[in-house]
Each structure stands twice: as structure tokens, then as C-alpha cells.
Structure 1
């Protein structure tokens, strides 16, 4: 079953055929380890700035739970193992969400893309699909120690209902982050496109730094 679904991935489109509006999407990638507070800070940004928050993880979890989803089982197996879902699935979910947002309101062209790109394959997929069609302004990197991240996720897991908020999955996710996502952040750092924030502090302290960055960048 899983092999058959992986085979179908090859048939997913790897190119965007054009946006329905003239304005080019402006994108901020939001990266950091699991539990670094990306979702919390994105919610605050949306409340204070004209950004739309797209969480790659939330989109994947929603697709996994959607009745009749062709790739729900495949997504579920990757998430439970703490592995990165094939880029074709993630890219198409992000693209669809961006298109739907811009069709509904042409003024909503600024996006926070949370938890993506998570590895080199993600980045290559993005560059292939979105080349010339969206501008990545910078990367907002929430830097937080591994144990702090794990403790936060374990606490969140008491009420989140997320199947991956357990120590075994979290340790796998941390290793995946260090091996696959951290090099992407380093790559953007070399381009001078990373704004790093100490995410081990309180929500208010972290958001104060976020505001300083966004006020300068906007």
C-alpha cells in the first residue's frame, strides 16, 4: 500500500501554472526545532501584522485526517516515525493553501510558512516549483535547546492530542531537525537572510524581538 502511494507521488505536479492575482507572494520561512514556539509566535504575528500563517505540519496533519485522502496513510507513517514527508505532498499542500488565500483576498499576499523547508529536498522542491513565483524575504529562526523543546512538547502533548508529542517521537524529530533542517538554516545564514531569536525565553520576551525584526523588515 505504502509503495503504491509513493509511486503515485511521481504523478503530482511539480510546477505552478500561475497565480490568480498579479501580486507575487512574499514569504518568511519560520524554522526551529519542535517545541521552539513557532506556532505560538506565528499566531501573535498574524494578530499584529498582515501575514497569513501556513504551518506545513498542520497542513499535513489535516490532510492525514481528511476523509478520502489519497496520502493520509503515508503521511501518518512518516509523522509517527519522526521522518520528513515527501516534498511533493508538502509543496502541493502549501501551494494550494497560498492560492486559496490569495483568491479569497488579493491583499493577503504575505505568508509565514512555518516548519518548511525541513531538508535539502524540501528546499530544492520549493525552488523548482516556486522559482520566480514567490519571494522569500528572510528566515525567522527560533533557536532553542533540545531539552527545552522536548519538555515543552511533552507538556503540550497532555492536551494537544498529537500522536507525535511523546518522548520517542520527539527524540527522532530532534535528530531529524539537527541532521536535515539545521543545515538549511546555515545555508540561508551564508546568504545573510536569517534573523535568529533566542526562543528559550518567555513568549512575551521572544515576541518583543520578533516585533523589532518585523518592524525593521517591513
Structure 2
């Protein structure tokens, strides 16, 4: 994966996304949701906006790498512009036209920023999968997945869950008002 598209190329991102016209499903829930079965059975490409894309960018030593690392460790949300550019790059670099975007939008600002980028293209999420799990269950899953991630510790997990409750539930309510939420417990 390449580094983030230069800020002067936002129009290029909008144009490329419009031409590709991808089908997008957002996956929201507290930290630790799993998407492998959906990808395997329905042919989507999984893009982990809150995790894998950010970790990959962090490794490129780009201008955003240190900021991403700090924000992930603190359990706070990376700026929308950074995440949207990473998502756009991943979508444009992939031959598939169906994307399961995991962990995005995490707050109202993310949602509004994404919609402003794709507003003229007609791209809207097909639907939003909402995995509604307890904090205890998410802690258990994250602490036992044993992937050696610096952000898989009890303090960061609890911060992430608090951020989820304070920020992401508003996004879920927004999409629910549009009839686009499919909830799983």
C-alpha cells in the first residue's frame, strides 16, 4: 500500500472514487468486531479503517506515521482527512468494487467528512452492520486475540470503548434514522 495521497489531490480522489462507484458497507461496533466470514461468503474486500490501514501507514514513516501511532496508543480517533485518504487509496488500488469498511465512520465528523468527499458521486453505504456487544465481551476478545498489538491492553481497550459509546453511537443513530442499520447482538 502506498502512502497517503497528497492534499492537492483530493479532487483526484473524488473523481477516481466516482468512476469506480464502489459498493460500501460500514461495520461498526466496539473494538474487536470480526469480518472474515462476511468477506469469505460475500466477496467483499475488508478494509480495517481503524486498525490495519492506520498500522500500515504508520510503518511507511510518512508525515502522519508518528501522529497515527500516538493517537492509536491513546485510543483516540485519527483525523477524518487521514482516514478518508487511506480508505480512498485502498479502494482505488483494489480491483474489487465491494468493500466492507470496518471501524469507520467512528464519529459524526468522520461521517460528514466522508459524505462531503463522495457527495457528488452518489456513493452511499449500502447499509451499516452494527455489532452490539458488551464491553466485557470486547475486552475478552481483544485480550485473547494475541496479535502483539500495542493497543491491545486493558487501559487502551477501555478508552476505545468509551470513545465508541461517546462518538459512534451518534453515527449508528444517524444511519438508523435512514433505515440503513442491521444490528447483531
TM-score by length of 2: 0.89
Q: Which residue of 2 aligns with 1:214?
A: none
Contact 1:20 1:99 in 2 (8 A): yes
In 2, Cα distance between the equivalents of 1:20 and 1:122? 17
Q: How many residues align?
A: 177
Tell whether 2:147 aligns with 1:188: no
| Larger deviation, residues 14-23 vs 57-66 | 14-23
Structure 2: gaps of 5 or more residues: 1-5
SS of 1:124's partner is: helix
**Alpha-carbon distance, 1:95 to partner:** 0.2
Tell whether 2:86 aligns with 1:93: yes
SS of 1:132's partner is: helix
Q: Which residue of 1 aligns with 2:21?
A: 24
Q: Which residue of 2 aligns with 1:155?
A: 144
2:100 to 112, 115, 120: 112
**Alpha-carbon distance, 1:191 to partner:** 1.0
Contact 1:83 1:176 in 2 (8 A): yes
Counterparts of 1:1-218 in structure 2, within 5 Å, are 11=7, 13-15=9-11, 16-19=13-16, 22-35=19-32, 37-38=33-34, 42-56=35-49, 57-66=51-60, 68-101=61-94, 105=95, 108-133=96-121, 134-156=123-145, 159-198=146-185
Structure 1: gaps of 5 or more residues: 1-9, 199-218
TM-score by length of 1: 0.76
